[in-house]
A and B are shown apart, each in its own frame.
Chain A
Amino acid sequence: MGTIVGIGEISKGNKVIFDGAPWLVVEVNFVKPGKGNAFYKTRVQNLLTHNTLEKTIRGGEKVEVADVADVEMQYMYRDANGYAFMDQSTYEQVTVSNAAVGTDKDFLLENMMVNVTLWNNEPIALRLPNTVTMEIDYTEPAIKGDTQSRVMKPAKLKGTGAEVPVPIFCAIGDKIAINTQTREYSGRVK
């Protein structure tokens, strides 16, 4: 059981429990007629499903703070149970389920440092760095010199096999930067 606090003590960035699930408070706004009842209008994101919703809470209500922490860990390997990570300070190892890793697997390379989100000490999600560097394993031959055009072609990434669109001047063996939020190419890495 997490700490119980008044809704007035909750601010942006806090994590709370609603309907048994952990939610990130994305936005909170206090509304109240001068002489009347207070309400908190919040926007919250479910840390398990990433769904967001608007939730109105009446002033004076209590909420449970979720015991959620981001711990930086190193990705080790994948096995039948999921993805294994190691906490570099305690050498403790945790396994994150396939469902919790989701499409983040496309940018997850061995030995990469990522944030693992723990809820009641159980891993529930990853937080990848905003940008990762990946190598192109296969793509159609490059069209040299055309660095202006916005024409894209698919490229397969080394290590994960994921496909992302890249500009047509990219070649096999190029190291490219990818925004993990938008899954878009953001530049070549020299």
Chain B
Amino acid sequence: MPISLRTRLQQRAELTQRVRSFFHARGVLEIDTPVLQGGANLDYGVVPFRLCDGKTVRFLPTSPEHALKRLIAAGIGDCWTLAPAFRSGENGQRHAPEFRMLEWYRLGWDDHALADEVIALFAVITGRPPTAERLTWRNAFRLHAHLDPVTASIEDLHRQLGTDAGVVGHDRAAALDLILTRDIEPHLGRGVWTIMTDYPASACAQARIRSDADGMPVAARFEIYGDGIELANGYHELTNAAELKQRHQQELATRSNGEQLDESFHHAMQRGLPDCAGVAVGFDRLVMIALGLQQIADTQAIPWNDA
């Protein structure tokens, strides 16, 4: 039987309360971040909304990452926020162009320690046990798609995609993304949470790069899955301001919708980001899982398609 809107909102409010208690007990400071920012988040495959009132251009955050990192560089220490985030064009059963991002940072921690804390929080929110499997990105392809994503040729990827091969052509990154969403993700987070680790260096986003057990450069990045759904994305943060700015400039060069660098963010990074790990959780998706809802719109007070 469908749950009434009021009941769903009550349950969601209860989950928010648990998040607040969790971080309060651990001494992590709650922050209200601004909704309009001076420059764009520049992550591969993520498109921001651009706003203009006739004089000033501002961008809606695709995550509150820039604001929180600026505050950490200013010395506020461990912090968290549950903030509105916006991603243009992402609309579907598990996506909404406007949603809430639960994001937090831990000073002096690495990605492994932070992934454990995410699992602890997920257990508190969903009532499920805090048991997780760790799977490297490379092994996830080996296990569920029976190919090695590092050594596979484009023909190998096409063979795996079958009739979908034509959709991606010779774009290797797109082929791997389609195999990931189509053949791998549905198997992740079944029975236990899945922590996917050691992303390829080419998909480092704002994570630092290190060597894996085989001496391959990998991103210190993880994602966490539950019930086949991607819930969290975390990094041992890159603190090298010059490299970070270069990554953003490279991404900016591929854009054509008037995106601008977030200069205030990069100035703060130049002053120095302390060693830290950070993670972003799609809070609406976590609510979906906790309440057993089938679509993200059912977790929201007023869904995008009704706005």
Question: In the complex the two chains form, what is the Cα distance from A33 to B167 in whole Å?
Answer: 16
Query: Which residues from chain A contact B233 at a C-beta distance below 8 Å?
Result: 34-35
Question: In the complex the two chains form, what is the Cα distance from A8 to B178 in whole Å?
Answer: 17
Within 8 Å of chain A (Cβ to Cβ): is B44?
yes
* B89→A37 contact, CB < 8 A: no
Question: In the complex the two chains form, what is the Cα distance from A93 to B68 in whole Å?
Answer: 68
CB distance from B301 to the nearest CB of A (A): 21
Within 8 Å of chain A (Cβ to Cβ): is B43?
yes
Q: Contact string, B204-231, partner A, CB cutoff 8 A, digits 1/0?
A: 0100000000000000000100000010
Within 8 Å of chain A (Cβ to Cβ): is B46?
yes
Within 8 Å of chain B (Cβ to Cβ): is A56?
yes
Question: In the complex the two chains form, what is the Cα distance from A56 to B90 in whole Å?
Answer: 16
Which of B47-91 touch A at CB < 8 Å?
Answer: 89-91
Within 8 Å of chain B (Cβ to Cβ): is A32?
yes
Size band of the interface chain B makes with A: 20 to 34
* A37→B182 contact, CB < 8 A: no
Query: Which residues from chain A contact B181 at a C-beta distance below 8 Å?
Result: 31-33, 39
* B167→A57 contact, CB < 8 A: yes
* B230→A38 contact, CB < 8 A: no
* B89→A33 contact, CB < 8 A: no
Known: A35-B205, A36-B45. A8 touches B173 (CB 8 A): no
Residue in contact with A35 in the complex, picked from B45, B167, B178, CB distance below 8 Å: B45
Within 8 Å of chain B (Cβ to Cβ): is A29?
yes
CB distance from A71 to the nearest CB of B (A): 29
Q: Contact string, B154-196, partner A, CB cutoff 8 A, digits 1/0?
A: 0000000000100110010110011011100100000000000
Residue in contact with A59 in the complex, picked from B89, B171, B173, CB distance below 8 Å: B89
Within 8 Å of chain A (Cβ to Cβ): is B92?
yes
* B178→A39 contact, CB < 8 A: yes
Q: Contact string, A26-50, partner B, CB cutoff 8 A, digits 1/0?
A: 0001111111111101000000000
Query: Which residues from chain A contact B178 at a C-beta distance below 8 Å?
Result: 37, 39, 56
Residue in contact with A30 in the complex, picked from B95, B171, B182, B230, CB distance below 8 Å: B95
Which of B124-172 touch A at CB < 8 Å?
Answer: 164, 167-168, 171
* A33→B93 contact, CB < 8 A: no
Within 8 Å of chain B (Cβ to Cβ): is A78?
no
Residue in contact with B223 in the complex, picked from A32, A34, A39, CB distance below 8 Å: A34
Query: Which residues from chain A contact B92 at a C-beta distance below 8 Å?
Result: 29-31
* A30→B203 contact, CB < 8 A: no
Residue in contact with A36 in the complex, picked from B89, B164, B177, B182, CB distance below 8 Å: B177
Residue in contact with A29 in the complex, picked from B44, B46, B93, B174, CB distance below 8 Å: B93
Question: In the complex the two chains form, what is the Cα distance from A144 to B145 in whole Å?
Answer: 62
A/B interface sample: 20 pairs, CB < 8 A: A29-B93, A30-B95, A31-B92, A32-B90, A32-B177, A33-B180, A33-B230, A34-B233, A35-B44, A36-B180, A39-B167, A39-B177, A39-B181, A41-B182, A56-B164, A56-B182, A57-B167, A58-B168, A58-B174, A59-B89
Name the 6 nearest CB pairs between A and B, nearest first: A30-B92, A36-B177, A37-B177, A37-B174, A31-B181, A36-B45
Extra pairs beyond A29-B92, A34-B233, A35-B45 (20, CB < 8 Å): A30-B90, A30-B95, A31-B92, A31-B94, A32-B45, A32-B177, A32-B181, A33-B185, A34-B223, A34-B230, A35-B233, A36-B180, A36-B203, A37-B171, A38-B90, A39-B167, A39-B177, A56-B167, A56-B182, A58-B174
